[in-house]
Amino acid sequence: MIQGRLAVSERIGGHGIQHRRVRREEEILWLQEEAGITTIFSLLGGMQNLASYRDSGFDVRGEPLIGQYEPSDVQRVFNALDEALQDPTLVVLVHRDLVDDTVAGVLAGYLVYSKLVDDPILAAALIQEILKRPLGPEGRSLIPVPS
């Protein structure tokens, strides 16, 4: 989490056969009331639950990342995430079905893209420490190399 501004989670309510509407509703309440989340930034390929999030009062942004990613896809996500974080009153939750290599790579890549961290290796190490999971080749490929 970028202190008080950026958070990450798996899909709200779980994914696949684990997804439960009641669980989603409980998690939405917790995210709003306890965590202070104002914006859901979804990397899911479909429009799953986006209407529910909007109906619950979240600002919702969908930037799907599916299949093989082109550099332009990743750039689009960085641009949209940067736009969402420009408003200092928003607290953004990035999510996908699971907190996987793609999510970790996007977060590390955003640190470099936004110039919060200059070194891609340091960005990867920070995200690995925060997420308590290694960043594999797929995730590392999403981190831009500064020119």
The CATH architecture one would assign to domain 1-98 is Alpha-Beta Complex (3.90)
Cβ atoms of 111 and 117 within 8 Å: the answer is yes
Tens-digit pLDDT profile for residues 67-115: 888 889 999 999 999 999 999 999 999 999 889 999 999 999 999 999 9
Entry pTM: 0.89
Cβ atoms of 8 and 93 within 8 Å: the answer is yes
